[in-house]
Structure 1
Amino acid sequence: MRKGNFFRGLGYLAEGFRLIRQPRLRLLVIIPLVINVVLFAAMFYFMALGFETLIAMVMGWLPDWGWLQALDWLFWLLYGVVILLIMAYGFVIVATLIGAPFYGYLAELTEKHLTGQEVSTDDNWAAIIKDIPRALWREVQKIIYYLPRAIVLLIIGLIPVVNLVAAVLWFLFNSWMMSLQYVDYPADNHKVSFPALRRLLGDTRLSALGFGVPVALAAMVPVLNLVVVPAAVCGATAYWVRESDSNHQ
């Protein structure tokens, strides 16, 4: 059983950024981009308002041990990173939920560009609109998969000493989720079920992690996270074309 290649996985996001400059793909990049700009501005505003309150609340849950109070600055840093990771993936969830019908079509056109073969015969805007309910349900499935695991990590983050590794665990989990989030678009175009997609990524997990790491990092960078979503869709489609084929050889 293949486990993929971490360094090959790293290259897919860069390829995605090259692909979004293709003339036929640009419109499907621009429309969600405008939506993302508005969404990011709103999320950044509310995050700035609530960050200090949220940190103070979490710190209030910790036992009143002297050595823990002395490490107050470290907990601020750790929880700040965790909250940033939650916000980063939260932004991705909302942005992709809104843009899901566009991104499925973007993945289809990207695959056609890479392989020269049609993915489906419904190559029009009417098909995008008709596909909205199914695309939204697919996004809901990812959220259902994400939430219980995120809750477990949040609980781990509240345990003294153990919470020192919480930020690392969150980053690895976010990286996995980024791969799962975006490779789902080309997989869905091929009518591959969500459980089957998870098995595919498990079989090529090193490639999946290599792809997810730079996407997770880019999602944390203001402005860059506005364009990383369509680039990740295109990069994930390249991942699908190469990793899924090699996985079945």
Structure 2
Amino acid sequence: MLQGNFFKGLGYLGEGFGLIRQPGLRLFVIIPLILNLLLFVALIWAMAEGFALLIATVMAWLPDWQWLQALDWLFWLLYALVILLLFAYGFVIMANLIGSPFYGFLSEQTEKYLTGQEMSDDGGWMQILKDIPRALGREIQKIVYYLPRALLLFIIGVIPVVNLVAAVLWFAFNCWMMSLQYVDYPADNHRVSFGALRRRLAARRLSALGFGLPVALLAMVPVVNLFVVPAAVCGATAFWIREPDPTAIAHR
């Protein structure tokens, strides 16, 4: 039986957007936001240049028919659609890799704010630097968890008849992954293993899917997804604090 509260889960991202505006948390939002913006611009430029070269190559290969040469607008339309899909998840993965040490500290400060503890950044920068190897290792764990399941869903998606439910499965899986991705930050701060985190979220699956749903949707909106990442970190921290843990969490 599925446990949790789907509608309560929906509210955590909205709470996260409110939290990132708090003075004590703002600094640890601005820095990864700038890094993500630079990444965003670099990816757009690189993909635009690469795709422009591809279009020029294809159009040079096609016969010199005017109506064929006029099809370059269609290629650019397809490019825009590809960008949207890539940024839905690819950008989020890369942004998390870059910002993971900052997000771990942002989650820690958010937890202090929500629980009424004194917020301090004493030693924060040194701690962020020290946490880089562990944070990157944790992100790689999530990617390793994601890839084989995504491949399986892709295979299901090309099977006739069965592929009718593939879109629903894909979206549900990505909602789950968004929840897993961001609740992992407070879990890692408490030294909870990735496997234990999965069990904890599975025990509150409705709440987890409710939280992951708006994150997955807004991740597909360029520019907006820059702000979704830190808001999701703060919202996931609220999730961690307020969602009861019915499992025996094994610590590392």
The 8 Å contact of residues 182 and 232 in structure 2, kept in 1 or not, is answered as yes
Equivalents in 2 of 1:157, 1:42: separation in Å? 32
Counterpart for residue 184 of structure 2: 184
Q: Aligned letter for 2:179?
A: S
The 8 Å contact of residues 111 and 119 in structure 1, kept in 2 or not, is answered as no
Matched, 1:133 2:136: no
Counterpart for residue 23 of structure 1: 23
Q: Deviations over 1:199-235 (max 9, x none)?
A: 0000000000000000000100111101000000000
Counterpart for residue 106 of structure 1: 106
Ranges in structure 1 where 5+ consecutive residues have no aligned partner: 54-76
Equivalents in 2 of 1:169, 1:86: separation in Å? 18
Equivalents in 1 of 2:183, 2:123: separation in Å? 20
Structure 2 CA distance for partners of 1:157 and 1:246, relative to 1, 3 Å: closer
Q: Bigger CA drift: 218-227 or 150-159?
A: 150-159
Q: Aligned letter for 1:29?
A: V
Q: Deviations over 1:169-219 (max 9, x none)?
A: 211111000000000000110010000000000000000000000000010
Cα offset, 1:105, TM superposition? 0.1
Give the TM-score, by structure 2 length: 0.79
Counterpart for residue 64 of structure 1: none
Equivalents in 2 of 1:89, 1:45: separation in Å? 18
The 8 Å contact of residues 153 and 169 in structure 1, kept in 2 or not, is answered as yes
Counterpart for residue 10 of structure 2: 10
Cα offset, 1:116, TM superposition? 1.9
Counterpart for residue 65 of structure 1: none
Equivalents in 1 of 2:208, 2:88: separation in Å? 18
Shift >3 Å, 4+ stretches: 42-50, 83-87, 117-123, 244-248
The 8 Å contact of residues 6 and 209 in structure 1, kept in 2 or not, is answered as yes
Matched, 1:154 2:154: yes
Structure with higher Rg: it is: 2
- 1:56-135 to structure 2, matched below 5 A, reads 84-85=84-85, 87-117=87-117, 123-135=123-135
CA RMSD of aligned residues (A): 2.9
Cα offset, 1:85, TM superposition? 5.0
The 8 Å contact of residues 17 and 231 in structure 1, kept in 2 or not, is answered as yes
Cα offset, 1:47, TM superposition? 5.6
Cα offset, 1:43, TM superposition? 3.4
Q: Aligned letter for 2:167?
A: A
Structure 2 CA distance for partners of 1:194 and 1:228, relative to 1, 3 Å: same
Q: Aligned letter for 2:115?
A: T
Structure 2 CA distance for partners of 1:3 and 1:86, relative to 1, 3 Å: farther
Equivalents in 2 of 1:107, 1:122: separation in Å? 15
Counterpart for residue 70 of structure 2: none
DSSP-derived class of the 2:191 partner: coil
Cα offset, 1:114, TM superposition? 0.2
Equivalents in 1 of 2:228, 2:94: separation in Å? 14
Matched, 1:237 2:237: yes
Counterpart for residue 32 of structure 1: 32
Aligned length: 222
Cα offset, 1:98, TM superposition? 0.5
Counterpart for residue 58 of structure 2: none
Equivalents in 1 of 2:41, 2:242: separation in Å? 36
Q: Deviations over 1:144-178 (max 9, x none)?
A: 00000011111122223333332222111110000
Q: Bigger CA drift: 232-241 or 89-98?
A: 89-98
The 8 Å contact of residues 119 and 190 in structure 1, kept in 2 or not, is answered as no
Structure 2 CA distance for partners of 1:121 and 1:225, relative to 1, 3 Å: closer
Give the TM-score, by structure 1 length: 0.80
Q: Aligned letter for 2:175?
A: S
